[in-house]
Every structure is written in C-alpha cells, then in structure tokens.
Amino acid sequence: MPDTHIPLTSLHIRDFDSQTDSIEELTRLLNKSYQTLAEMGFRFVASHQDAPMTLKRMENAHCLVGLQNGKIIATILYYPPASAKGAPWYDQPNVAKFGQFAVDPEYRRQGIGDELIRRVEEMAVQDDAKELALDTAEGAHHLIRYYTARGYRLVAYTQWNQTNYRSVLMSKKLT
C-alpha cells in the first residue's frame, strides 16, 4: 500500500465545481468512506447512494471538496441557517448544519476532516448562525467522541425514514 500521508499544506480545499468535477467520483468517495459504518450495520444514505442522490443532497447546500493531486479525497456539505431543515433543532432560524462529511479512509487521521469542519464553522459564523449542527448514528460511538472533542454536544434525537438507526443531533455554539 502506498504511503498516503500528505502534509495538510498540500491539501487543496475548494468548492465543488459541477463543470469540472465528477459527481461519480464524489459519490464513489462517499460510498467508500461510509463503508466501514455500513459494515457496522448502519445504513447511512452515503454508504449506498448513487450519483443522482448525491446531487439531490447537494441542493440548498454548499459543497466543499478536498483534493490531493487533483483527486477528490474529502468532502463536506454545509447548509446555511435558511437551508438547515428536517428536524426541530435544524428548523431554528439561527442553526446551520453540515453533513455528507467524508474523508477517504486512506487519508484519515491527518487533520483533513478537522480542516473541513473548521471551514464550515467559519462559513456558519459568516452567515450569522449561532449554532452549527450535525447528526450521526446513536451507535457510532467513535464519531460521537470525534465531534464531542471538537466542542459539539448532544441536543436531540431523531429517526430519519432512510436510515435503520436513531440519530443523535449534535450542535456547537458559535462565537
């Protein structure tokens, strides 16, 4: 297996460009990144979605991608307060959210995910959001620990129709 450690300075983060970026490549990244969760028994939409579903989930969102040598290795969707909908916590006028967050497994534990979250936190502050929220599977304890370590706290539970697990909604107060 090749050495996939990259200096964070060589990671290029930018908006997804529908003219030059491949929605199929982005979808493959999501499927691959969520495969571990699928193997744990969690049916996250991103573990099995197709390209049209990826596009649908990008509606009303701002999609960032992380590239290494022109290859998409990470992504995150940011929904500003007016677009963060679906659960009572998200429906509040001052709550932004992020989702469809993925880092290629070969590039994890290098700070790439932290950098993507930092970027969407900045976007939320610029949009005058008071909170930035997310949801994940209640049983995905490693993810809950990851988000908790970054200042997110449990605020609610919800059950999405498309998943086979109860979700925890986590949120972080923004300054």
Inter-residue contact 173 to 130 (CB < 8 Å): yes
Residue 124 lies in a domain: yes
Inter-residue contact 96 to 132 (CB < 8 Å): yes
Structural domain boundaries, residue 56: 8-173
Calculated CA dihedral for residues 172, 39, 113, 104, nearest 10 degrees: -160
CA distance 111 to 128: 26
For 126, other C-beta atoms within 10 Å of its C-beta total: 10
Residue 1 lies in a domain: no
- CATH number of the CATH domain containing 134: 3.40.630.30
**Percent of the chain topping pLDDT 70:** 95
Residue 70 lies in a domain: yes
CA distance 72 to 21: 9
Q: How many structural domains comprise the chain?
A: 1
Helices and strands (DSSP H and E) totals, the chain: 5, 7
- Helix or strand or coil: residue 117? helix
Tens of pLDDT, residue by residue over 37-78, are 899 888 888 899 999 999 999 988 999 999 988 899 999 999
Tens of pLDDT, residue by residue over 87-125, are 889 999 999 999 999 999 999 988 999 999 999 999 999
